Amino acid sequence: MRPTTGVAPLGERSSGALSDTFGRVHRDLRISLTDRCSLRCTYCMPEQGNEWLARSGILSLDEIERIARVAAGVGITTFRLTGGEPLLRTDIVEVVRRLAAITGPDGTPVELAMTTNGIRLPELLPDLMAAGLQRLNVSIDTLHRDRFAALTRRDRLDDVLAGIRAAQASGLRPLKLNAVAMRGVNDDEMVQLVEFALAHDAQQRFIEQMPLDAGHTWDRAQMVTREEILAALATRWALTPVPGRGGAPAERWLLDGGPQTVGVIASVTAPFCGDCDRLRLTADGQLRNCLFSTAEYDLMPTLRPAGGQGAEPMDAAIERVLRACVHGKLPGHAINDPSFLQPARGMNAIGG
């Protein structure tokens, strides 16, 4: 469903920060650069038969920069580049350079982070850092080659490990490693994954599996819960909660008193919607106010007007769609309601 492309109601046309009807101020924009990927993780993409976005419908570098500048002007302070696999985009270094140069209304530079499967980091990281990339999250769900190949349907564990070594050597910190916890797949590796992260000067974060796979096969019984993850970790470390989470998706715990930590993103069993400050932009120009939203707010008619530019300046129109998207945000994602409907798009097309 893509309900909003026209003129937003007057009630949504306000000035100031991007505040929704529940008082949540939005500071974080996740920008999906492509729906394509070098892996086929079972919880994200189908093995075959994915309906790719048409290349002509993908936002250009100039369009991404334009949206980002408008967003920074109304209070977005962090951009996270994601996908699909963001490093597959051929102009990725230029995307980073353009976005890293953006400042807020008070002249403060935005923060620029990326979530990646890491495969192209060894070749690209020096240029990405020179262009202004500040933070990295790398996804790795298992340290076993056979499991990795089955889970991602690609035998590329060694490439991901090389990417993580490049990230470690780069000095970009904090470096975060993400793993989706899955029953019978990697739930016996929780301790080893944390030890691996610590050995690479990284923070391990576990993610509860969410109903966002393209095949709509998510099964609550297969999901490893926050409680189960913590119980597994407690066999090895004393866990002390870290206070002051703010709008961050991960709850964190000190390992044996710290300073090292582990994080858990428990979107299903412990939703954190009340503090959510995130918006998403898909690679084809759709704004989303929630991962699980079934509504999208289309920026394409604004960016590429069929009949030529209308009377409203383009930046004002982009801001209006941003405000409409924030205004339409629901209090929570409702995964746990019986009436929950999984979004039509998979995670690779929404942007994780």
Residues within the interface to ligand SAM (CB under 6 A): 37, 43-44, 82-83, 85, 115-117, 139, 178, 180, 207, 209-210, 212-213, 347-348, 352
Bridge partners, residue 113, by sequence: 80, 135
Q: Which is nearer to ligand SF4, 40 or 173 (CB)?
A: 40
- Interacting stretch for ligand SF4, rule CB under 6 A, among 70-78, 80-88, 204-212, 300-308? 80-88
CA-atom Rg of the chain in angstroms:
20
Strands laid side by side in the 28-32 sheet: 239-241, 251-255, 261-265, 202-208, 175-181, 135-139, 111-116, 78-82, 28-32, 278-281, 286-288, 297-298
Say which amino acid occupies 141. D
Contact by Cβ (8 Å): 261, 233: no
- Interacting stretch for ligand SF4, rule CB under 6 A, among 37-45, 204-212, 308-316, 323-331? 37-45
Give CA–CA dist 207/41, Å, rounded: 14
Q: Is 32 in the site for ligand SF4 (CB under 6 A)?
A: no
Q: Which of residues 184-243 bind ligand SF4 (CB under 6 A)?
A: none
* Burial zone of 48 (CB within 10 Å; 0-12 exposed, 13-18 middle, 19+ buried): exposed
Q: Which of residues 323-352 bind ligand SF4 (CB under 6 A)?
A: 347-348
Question: Residue 26: which of 16, 36, 12 has the closest Cα?
Answer: 16
Q: Which is nearer to ligand SF4, 24 or 30 (CB)?
A: 30
Report strand pairing: 111-116 vs 251-255: unpaired
- Copy the structure tokens of residue 119: 């495969």
186 binds, among ligand SF4, ligand SAM, none (CB under 5 to 8 A by kind): none
Q: Which is nearer to ligand SF4, 84 or 263 (CB)?
A: 84
40 binds, among ligand SAM, ligand SF4, none (CB under 5 to 8 A by kind): ligand SF4
Question: Residue 101: which of 140, 126, 130, 123 has the closest Cα?
Answer: 130
Least distance between ligand SAM and beta carbon 262 (Å): 15
Least distance between ligand SAM and beta carbon 28 (Å): 14
Q: Is 41 in the site for ligand SF4 (CB under 6 A)?
A: yes
134 binds, among ligand SF4, ligand SAM, none (CB under 5 to 8 A by kind): none
Least distance between ligand SF4 and beta carbon 162 (Å): 15
Least distance between ligand SAM and beta carbon 109 (Å): 23
45 binds, among ligand SF4, ligand SAM, none (CB under 5 to 8 A by kind): ligand SF4
263 binds, among ligand SAM, ligand SF4, none (CB under 5 to 8 A by kind): none
Q: Which of residues 129-148 bind ligand SF4 (CB under 6 A)?
A: 139
Q: Which of 27, 80, 83, 177 binds ligand SF4 (CB under 6 A)?
A: 83
Please tell me whether residue 178 adopts helix, strand or coil conformation: strand
Give CA–CA dist 323/14, Å, rounded: 8
Contact by Cβ (8 Å): 292, 343: yes
Q: Which of 29, 31, 78, 84 binds ligand SF4 (CB under 6 A)?
A: 84
Say which amino acid occupies 174. P
Bridge partners, residue 112, by sequence: 79
Least distance between ligand SF4 and beta carbon 37 (Å): 3
Give CA–CA dist 34/88, Å, rounded: 8
Contact by Cβ (8 Å): 332, 272: no
Q: Which is nearer to ligand SAM, 13 or 153 (CB)?
A: 153
209 binds, among ligand SAM, ligand SF4, none (CB under 5 to 8 A by kind): ligand SAM
Least distance between ligand SF4 and beta carbon 185 (Å): 13
Question: Residue 156: which of 170, 166, 142 has the closest Cα?
Answer: 142
For 252, how many CA atoms within 13 A lie in the half-sphere containing its CB?
A: 19
Question: Which chain residues interact with ligand SF4 by CB under 6 A?
Answer: 37, 39-41, 44-45, 83-85, 117, 139, 347-348
